[in-house]
Amino acid sequence: MSRAFDIIESYVIDVAACLPRAQRADVAAELRSLLREEIGADTPENEVIARLRAFGRPADVAARYHPPYTLIESTDTRGFVLAAVIGALLIPPANQRLPLSVDQNTASIFFLAWLGALLLLFAAKSWAFRRWPSLSRWNPTRLRDYDAVRMIEQIPIVAILVFYEAAYLMPATVIGALSGGNIPAGVLDYTADFLNPIRMWWFALFGFALIVLEAAMIARGRWSRVTRTLEIVLFLLAGTQLGWHASYGDIFANVQAEHGARMAFQLLGAAFVLTAVLKIYREWRRLPPLEAVSVAA
Amino acid sequence: MQKNSPDVAFRLEQELRRGVLMLAVLSQLRKDQYGYSLRQLLDAKGMAIEEGTLYPLLRRMEEQGLLHSEWKIEDGPPRRYYRRSRDGEKIYRGLATQWRGLVATVEGLMEESK
């Protein structure tokens, strides 16, 4: 066989390797025959290589014969990244000072396992959509005006925030009352270090500001861009502050109360931060109102 | 004009051609042709198609039932010859009618914009 035909043969083998088994022999035979006729047996080696390179990379050529399927559709990339980030946020942190934490290696394993699970999930979705195209059909969702204040939601939010604030400022009174007086005196007294202005009072301040904001919305009836942004900032600041308390400790002198408080602060802080993340996502999805679109006169 | 406009123009031209490739190929396959001879035939009639595009297209058209193929030995090595199938014949006639209508409409639109 001529050198040109040898090079063509190696190209055909590489193309065929990227094709489904059932198609390989037939496509290879036709491609070999066509390329031999196109290029010829006596063409110099470098010209043969240049012609084959112009024909396309073997994987690209194979894809033209048989379009390959994708594990994750390009249209799902945004959803995949978002799910990966949310999953990463939910993994117990690797900060060993926090009561609910895992070591660095376990956190990495959790994250990789989450990515693997997501990959399988999105691949299954992609397969199901190919198999049953009607599944991917768009359906309208009920429009919701997130700026309108709903009393049925807003009043409980204010009540919960007032409870948090009260329990934070007067743990012995509030939690003691909830326990039916079963907690001995002094167990829920803050340490002198925690009562230090730079430790305790920041969350009290952010919590109070949140209560005022949420209560004001009951009176106002509608959220605006400024109040929405303020709410997100306050949730983030309050959540971060609680996370710091959980990490730093030295809240109660009593060991059990200290452990319980740090755990509660960590969970509550995570809930505040996740609420802020959800609200940021909602802002990101928000479309500008029609009157905000500039129209050429 | 933007810096990349020649690139955009090239891509638009490619897209335009891609849309009519199938019709061009179907038009020439009333008689048996193999890949290389079809490419030369189209080239001679002013419709140059890269081999890397044409050969896989023939296979895909056959999978869609538009073409029928068979291996034959005529004057040379064994070659795979293609021609329009019965379904391909019907679809070609429909596409040709659509194409003529489309050309007339677009011509009219372009005349208006002169």
Q: Catalogue all structural domains in chain B, each as residue range(s) with its CATH number.
A: 22-112 (1.10.10.10)
Using a CB-CB distance cutoff of 8 angstroms, which residues of chain A are in contact with residue B50? 54
Give the number of A-B residue pairs with CB atoms closer than 8 Å: 39
Considering only CB atoms, which residues of chain A are within 8 Å of chain B?
27, 29-31, 33-34, 36-38, 54-56, 61, 64-65
Structure tokens at B48: 């140059």
Return the pLDDT at A146.
86
Return the pLDDT at B3.
57
Task: Return the residue of B nearest to A38 by Cα.
Answer: B36
Whether residue A221 has pLDDT greater than 70: yes
Average pLDDT over residues A171-193: 87
Whether residue A155 has pLDDT greater than 70: yes
Sign, CA torsion A234/A237/A239/A245: negative
Return the pLDDT at A214.
97
Residues in a beta bridge with B80: B71
Whether residue B1 has pLDDT greater than 70: no
Return the pLDDT at A186.
83
Q: What is the pLDDT of residues A143-153, one digit of tens each?
A: 888 899 999 99
Q: What is the pLDDT of residues A51-104, one digit of tens each?
A: 999 999 999 999 999 888 888 888 999 999 989 988 888 887 877 788 888 888
Average pLDDT over residues A260-273: 93
Look over chain A and give the mean of its residue pLDDT values, rounded to a whole number.
91
Residue B95 Ramachandran class (φ > 0 left, ψ -120 to 50 alpha, else beta): alpha
Whether residue A19 has pLDDT greater than 60: yes
Using a CB-CB distance cutoff of 8 angstroms, which residues of chain B are in contact with residue A54? 50, 52
Whether residue A182 has pLDDT greater than 90: no
The edge-to-edge listing of strands for the beta sheet with B33-34 is B33-34, B79-84, B67-72
Q: How confident is the model at residue A242 (pLDDT cuts 50, 70, 90)?
A: very high
Nearest CB partner across the interface for A31, out of B34, B55, B78: B55
Q: How confident is the model at residue A296 (pLDDT cuts 50, 70, 90)?
A: low
Look over chain B and give the mean of its residue pLDDT values, rounded to a whole number.
91
pTM: 0.69
> Nearest CA to A31 among A19, A42, A43?
A19
Cross-chain Cβ contact A33/B56 below 8 Å: no
B37 touches chain A (CB under 8 A): no
Q: How confident is the model at residue B59 (pLDDT cuts 50, 70, 90)?
A: very high
Alpha carbon A34 to chain centroid, angstroms: 50
Q: How far is CA A30 from CA A46, A69, A195, B29, B55, in A?
A: 23, 24, 83, 18, 9
Q: What is d(CA A252, CA A139) in angstroms, rounded to the nearest whole number?
A: 53
Q: What is the pLDDT of residues B69-102, one digit of tens each?
A: 999 988 788 899 999 999 999 999 999 999 999 9
Q: How far is A70 from chain B (nearest CA, A)?
A: 19
Cross-chain Cβ contact B57/A33 below 8 Å: no
φ, ψ at B71 (rounded to 5°) = -80, 135
Cross-chain Cβ contact B56/A64 below 8 Å: yes
Task: Return the residue of B nearest to A63 by Cα.
Answer: B56
